[in-house]
Structure 1
């Protein structure tokens, strides 16, 4: 663990060990009130510009990852409005969760159309029409951005035809670039490391700049070029790799999904009329 991550690790441990009934008032609000340097850093980060991707140091990526671990833990403790999602032991309301994240400088975004940039698929309602496009039926938690970078995608229940999304695959395939979710297998590059070393993991950066979405901008293999090096230790086809880097899981691909290494792939695509081209 790097020294820049210490405040987040301390907050993470405080949340993890909390036994009270008002996590926001007892832990989150006081921490935010004292996090002036973190807020200043996030404010500076949010206005960075690049050509087109803003620069980010390894320390920036470590800090963002540490904060994402806090966010993952809060999502586990979030009181969700969907009664089919397990809410036992929930210790924070959606309102207080958003108050905390907004206080740090994050912006809540509510897109009207489905996009893997904005939406994480939690639950699927399979439409009877095979080719029905994927649409958002309900939102379980909100999407958070910092500047033009995605920090936390919205958790969603979606509908769609089996040609575009398959319920069991989309709900149960491994969610990559993610440390933890309720009732789902996850994996990120911290897995397999010790309790301290695992924190030195880089945050995945996705950006929406003008009319282009950039997925996993720090990956070395650009799938947008139409050709790339074979991925490590898997037999995925080109379009299957694109699906994985966009959605962070499979939504149609029926292949083994628990031991892949998609972390070096990146991809970009244009947006037209509010939809992804």
Structure 2
């Protein structure tokens, strides 16, 4: 995968990613399906013109953005830490079920990892329930953000808190 163009810059506060950059990428179709990547629900995002989004601050009324926890994504010398405060480490296979969920209710691990890395689905086939996922409880630490993941790039972090 190659970054072709930066559409808007990202914003970092030290190691903490505050706002992701918007980029145009080029990749073989077996890695990224252009239609899926540009039309699937974009998670951890309040609003994006002409695209469905999902954010924890949706549906809580006028002050919802100010009363919702901030999702923390970091990059440091150890690697990338996606949604640091998530309760379930999805680097392990199989991860522990989310509180109150049975193992049968859990989405496939590779789809959960895809959502944390890209904030959306990028690969075909698009799951029928793609707009009804809950990646906010998951966390993932990586040594590199290569797609698809290499097993050695996944890092198990024993406790995020």
- Do both proteins adopt the same fold according to a TM-score greater than 0.5, normalized to the shorter chain? yes
Asked if 1:244 is matched to 2:115, the reply is yes
- Residue 230 of structure 1 deviates from its aligned partner by 3.9
TM superposition score normalised by structure 1: 0.48
Instruction: Note the residue ranges of structure 2 that are not aligned, 5 or more in a row.
Output: 154-161
Tell me the residue number matched to 2:156.
Answer: none
Gaps of 5+ in 1: 1-133
Structure with more contact order per residue of length (Cα contacts < 8 Å, sep ≥ 6): 2
- The correspondence for 1:205, drawn from 67, 72, 82, is 72
Aligned length: 141
Give the aligned CA root-mean-square deviation in angstroms: 2.1
Q: Which has the higher helix share?
A: 1
Deviations 1:212-251 (A, max 9, x none): 1100000000012222234669652111110111111111
1:178 aligns with 2:45: yes
Identify the match of residue 266 of structure 1 among 139, 143, 152.
139
Separation in structure 2 between the aligned mates of residue 234 and residue 242 of structure 1, nearest angstrom: 16
| Residues 58 and 64 in structure 2, CA contact (< 8 A), matched pair in contact too | no
TM-score, scaled to structure 2: 0.80
2:12 is matched with which residue: 145, 151, 159?
145
Higher Cα Rg: structure 1 or 2?
A: 1
3-state SS of paired residue (2:135):
coil
